[in-house]
Amino acid sequence: MPELDLDAIPQTNTTGYPAPFDAPVAGRWYRRLAPVGGLTEMGASHVVLKPGGWSSQRHWHDDEDELLVMLTGEAVLIEDSGRTVLKPGDICAWPMGNTNGHHLINESDTDCSFVAIGAGNQDGTGGYSDIDMMFDAEGYCRRDGTRYPAKRAR
């Protein structure tokens, strides 16, 4: 069935982030949609952010475009340029290679949800704006190239 049965897709809050960068995303509960939907040219996740939850560490992709569609609730988008409150129906686009990192934080007292889509190099590279971390297909490293022990979550 092309209509995805969200309730039947396992939800997880797993992350490959090394401590202590993993703690802020503990309230991010996501479902990977592309494998279930048979899609190979894009990645897509349905994400529920619990109150206080972060969508990710603030990051950018070198070689993958991102699109986000807000479904329910409210989240604050944070970037170099400041804060923007996102509401249902709002859409964000982040072109690959733009190093103005972004993430969403649920500062409200109820869940919010969104769909995040990525296309390009799904094993690509990128970085994090606020912490000493970069990512690549293998996992995470510091800016000086030394590796973190954790593996990148898939």
Residue numbers at the binding site for a second copy (CB under 8 A): 1-4, 6, 33-34, 36-42, 44, 46, 64-65, 67, 69, 71-72, 77, 79, 81, 84, 86, 88-96, 98, 100, 102, 113, 115, 117, 119-120
- Within 26-76, residue ranges assigned H as helices are 34-37
CA neighbor of 139 nearest in space, from 11, 10, 15, 6: 15
Query: Quick one: tokens of 4?
Result: 């995805």
User: Using CB atoms within 10 A of its CB, is residue 107 exposed (0-12), middle (13-18) or buried (19+)?
Assistant: middle
Task: Output 86 or 140, the one with its CB closest to a second copy.
Answer: 86
Smallest gap from Cβ 120 to a second copy, in A, equals 4
Task: Output 69 or 131, the one with its CB closest to a second copy.
Answer: 69
Task: Output 64 or 148, the one with its CB closest to a second copy.
Answer: 64
Task: Output 26 or 137, the one with its CB closest to a second copy.
Answer: 137
Task: Output 52 or 97, the one with its CB closest to a second copy.
Answer: 97
Query: Quick one: tokens of 51?
Result: 């109150």
Smallest gap from Cβ 70 to a second copy, in A, equals 9
Smallest gap from Cβ 54 to a second copy, in A, equals 17
Smallest gap from Cβ 119 to a second copy, in A, equals 4
Smallest gap from Cβ 89 to a second copy, in A, equals 5
Residues in the chain: 154
Query: Quick one: tokens of 18?
Result: 């090394």
First-to-last alpha carbon distance for the chain, in angstroms, is 24
Strand order in the sheet with 134-136: 59-61, 126-128, 134-136, 139-141, 147-151
